[in-house]
Amino acid sequence: MKKSILVFLSILLVCTDSVMAQGTLSPTDFEKKINTLQPQLLDVRTSREYQSSHIKNALQADWLNKEQFADRTQYLDKSKPVFVYCASGGRSGEAAKWLHDKGFTDVQNLQGGLSAWKMEGRSVESVTNAAQLSVTKYAELTQTSGTVLVDFGAEWCPPCKKMEPVIKQLQTDLANKFVFVKADGGNDIEVMKNEKVTAIPTFILYKNGKEIWRKQGIVELTELKKRITE
């Protein structure tokens, strides 16, 4: 009898933990917890939807593009809360379950999605229509003497955000050793097409006007230093 009770309690505990780890929050509670917990906030809609409007500080990974979603979310911290949302809650509900199954310990979905968020009068941001970096200007920046490192990235890209402190440290450690060029992976589309950049972040290194190295994804500081100084 005691053994049966212990088994029942164990099952109940597992179920309770599962509910706590993967839940749905109203816009009010979602906003409160964003302000208090400062979780990893993830917009799982397409990049076009994201650029139209999104919650401040949200990262973006398209749930409908499974390869992209898996690639970008691998750089999130599994020990920290992840709050997800989409347009109405359907895609983000599926994404929340997927993340939970992959080992993320606390995943919360926005009930009703961004539509419900907006209907309650909560603020959103949009990506400004900044002027695109032209192919001609890109060539002018890279086809020059010396060493030029180009970073194709975006504010809303999880691995790009992870690379920010690395690039900052690189610029400190190798000051005056190279020129750094930042290309916006969400805006500078023509340059990306011309340079055959299909995913971000992508780093391209030029020396005396010639491309000598490129890599997509996370790059260690030591590797960047080696490539620039060799």
For the chain, what are the domain ranges?
A: 22-119, 135-229
| 181 in Cβ contact with 141 (< 8 Å) | yes
Q: Tell me the per-residue pLDDT of 4-54, one tens digit each, with 9 for 90 and over.
A: 444 433 433 333 333 335 699 999 999 999 999 999 999 999 998 998 899
- High-pLDDT (> 70) share of the chain, %: 90
* Architecture per CATH, 135-229: 3-Layer(aba) Sandwich (3.40)
Residue 197 has pLDDT above 70, yes or no: yes
Q: What's the whole-model pTM score?
A: 0.77
| Average pLDDT for the chain | 89
Q: Which of 55, 157, 170, 192 is catalytic?
A: 157
The pLDDT value given to residue 48: 87
Q: Whose CA is closest to 174, among 146, 152, 209?
A: 146
Mean pLDDT of 71-89: 96
Question: Binning pLDDT at 50, 70 and 90, where does residue 189 land?
Answer: confident
CATH number of 22-119: 3.40.250.10
Mean pLDDT of 113-129: 89
Q: Whose CA is closest to 85, among 124, 121, 37?
A: 124
Known catalytic residue at 157: yes
Known catalytic residue at 86: no
Mean pLDDT of 197-215: 95
78: left (phi over 0), alpha (psi -120 to 50) or beta: alpha
Residue 131 has pLDDT above 90, yes or no: no
Q: Do domains 22-119 and 135-229 have the same CATH topology?
A: no
Q: Which of 41, 114, 160, 228 is catalytic?
A: 160
